[in-house]
Every structure is written in structure tokens, then in C-alpha cells.
Amino acid sequence: MTEEGVALAGLPLLVLGVALFLQVMIALSGMRAVKILTWSSSPFDLTAALVHHTQLTPVTFRCMRCVSALEVYGDPARPSETQPSAWHAHPSIRKVVISLWGIVAACAGWALLVMYIWHKFAGTYNGAVASSDALTTQTWSFIPNTNSFNYIQYNLPGIGIQCWILVFLNVAAVQGPLTLGLHCSELIANVIRDERQWRCATRKEGFKTATNPVKPIFTHPICLVLFIAKPFLHWMFGLSFVTYVFGFGGQGEPLYVCMYTAQIWNLCIALFIFASFFTFVALRRLRGPQPAAYGHVQTLANLVDEWSPVMWWGHKEDGIPYCHAGTSDHPLPDVKMDCLWHPFRERGAIYTSG
């Protein structure tokens, strides 16, 4: 007779509590080590605070220079109809995109390795167990079929704490790269979100520096995609890599690790779609003469010459032979595409929102 129930393991909960405690200690030690200039996570509030406290110096003659032109000397420049993509603007973005495709390749390699082991040990038991069912269209499913499915399985030696340590090492070795890649993909979402906010400065309503940090998660499409994709991909990993134990009379046998071939391929396909989406986002070029900053604080300090709660960016002064573009607390006309631009104006007051 088979009985189903719920079991709670104390050691994993203890490890989770210790990890959360260490995160709190690291955060508190960081707060004590440095002076907090602003509690805002916005790069615009951070830039204003750094400039206000003279920890960041705006560079003159760069009112038409985007983030990818940091190494270019501040000569007069004409407006560009398109701006560089995040891929070309941030070296870190390129590393994140490459790492995402590396995770896709690693997942495909994992699936191929499981298939190779299954073909070698199908129906036998030599330290590993391979199911008798081959991977076919009938055994392929999103959720493992209880009747027939393709998998390999092995048990972890040892009992007690030794066995749990092996479980953590197995899970960390397989799930760690996935967790790190999804965490790093937030960099792409954040810089695209920051650039979209900055480009509101050329719209009718202007750019509001003070924003709710939670609101963009649910209003910005890329942030929303990431918010949904992260738990979904971890759930798919949980369908692919399962640890379990058989219990009889309140006693548990050695832990088993089971890898489901079809579910690993499903995870690989989902990661391929995820990596393709963020690659497209990172390579997409923006239109308009407003220089792209992608949240880079030095570039924002160079482009913003007047800080206010609501800012507009555009044409500010005609000059001979150069014009001036910058920000203001009132709407500005569009820049003249056929003129040379050189910011000779002194910078205005700094507004900080906290």
C-alpha cells in the first residue's frame, strides 16, 4: 500500500536562514562602511547626488556625446538620427548576452550527456539507473509522465549531513550557472529601462526624476518579462532535475537524483527563446538625436546641465558657430539636425530628490 504525504527537511531550512542572515550582515556592513548619498536606486538621483556632493564632475563640451563616445574628445558634433545599442554602449552587456548563450549551450550539452548515459545504461543498474522508455514523441511531455518517461537516476552515498552536503553540491553545480545568468540578465533590463526613462525628456510630459522603484517592474515590458521568466525557468529546472527519497515507516532511504531528458530539452528551448529575446533587446538601436546614456552616471552628468523634478531635453541656445543642447524645467524645441553643437553654458542648479 502506497501512502502520500508531506515531509519537511530541517537542514535545508536552516541553510536558507543562515544564507539570509549573511545577506543582512553584508548589507549592514556595507551601510556602515560608506556614506549614503541617496537611498534611491535610480541612476538619475544617484548622478544628481554625486554631482551635488562634488564626487562626480561633469565634463564640458559633450552635450551631443552618448555613452559609447566616452573616449572621444569633446569636439563639436552633429546630432545623430540613431543611437548605439546597449550591446555597443556597455561592455558588460556583451558579457551578459554571451553568458546567456553559454548557458543555452551548456543546457544542450547536459541533455546530450543524459541521452548518452541512457543509451549506455538503458535498463541496467551500475551505480546509475536508466529508464526502459526511450525518448520519443509519446514519452516527450512538459511535465514528466508518471506512466512512461526517459530519465537517468543515481543515488547519493552517505547518510545524514554528508548526504545533504552532496545534494547541495549537485544542485549548486547544475542550477548555479542558471541562477547567475538570470541574475545578470537584470543588467540588460535595467539599462534599457533607464534609457527609456531618459528618453521621456523629449516627450510632451517630460522626464520625472522621482519614480516609484516598484512601478517599472510591472509597467516596463522587459522588466515584466524578466519578472515572469525567472521563476518560470527555475520551475522548469525543477522539472528536469529532481532529488527525492523513499520513506518507509518514517525512515528515509538514501537520496536519489533523477534527470528527465525531455524536460531538460524543454528547459533548453525556453532558455534559447529567453537568450534570443534579450539579444534582440541588446542589439536594438534607438532613434532620435537625444544622446543615449543607458543609466551611465558620467554620461548623464555631461548631458544634464539643469536638474529639476521634471526635465525636458532639447535645443537651448543658438550660437555662432555652435549651438547648445541641454535640459530645462520647461519644454524645449527639437534640436536642429544640420547644426554643430558645443555646450558653452555654465551648468544650472542641482536638484536632488533624496
- pLDDT block averages, 10 residues each, the chain of length 354: 64 88 94 85 88 85 75 68 89 93 95 87 63 72 73 75 81 90 92 91 86 80 92 93 65 73 93 96 91 89 88 82 83 80 50 46
Q: What is the pLDDT of residue 345?
A: 46
Block residue for cell numbers 558634433: 77
Q: What is the pLDDT of residue 66?
A: 82
Block residue for cell numbers 548622478: 47
Q: What is the pLDDT of residue 352?
A: 45
Q: What is the pLDDT of residue 127?
A: 44
Residue 289's Cβ-count burial label (10 Å; 0-12, 13-18, 19+) is buried
* Nearest-angstrom CA–CA distance, 329 and 307: 8
Residue 280 has a CB neighbour count (10 Å cut-off) of 9
Write down the pTM of the prediction: 0.84
CB 291, CB 66: distance < 8 Å: yes
DSSP H stretches of helix in the chain: 10-33, 43-52, 86-89, 91-121, 161-198, 215-219, 221-240, 261-283, 297-303
CB 40, CB 46: distance < 8 Å: yes
Q: What is the pLDDT of residue 181?
A: 92
Q: What is the pLDDT of residue 99?
A: 95
Q: What is the pLDDT of residue 354?
A: 45
User: Which string of b and e fits 99-111 if b means at least 16 CB within 10 Å?
Assistant: bbbebbebbbebb
Q: What is the pLDDT of residue 270?
A: 96
Q: What is the pLDDT of residue 250?
A: 47
**CA–centroid distance for 133 within its chain:** 38
Q: What is the pLDDT of residue 353?
A: 46
Q: What is the pLDDT of residue 70?
A: 61
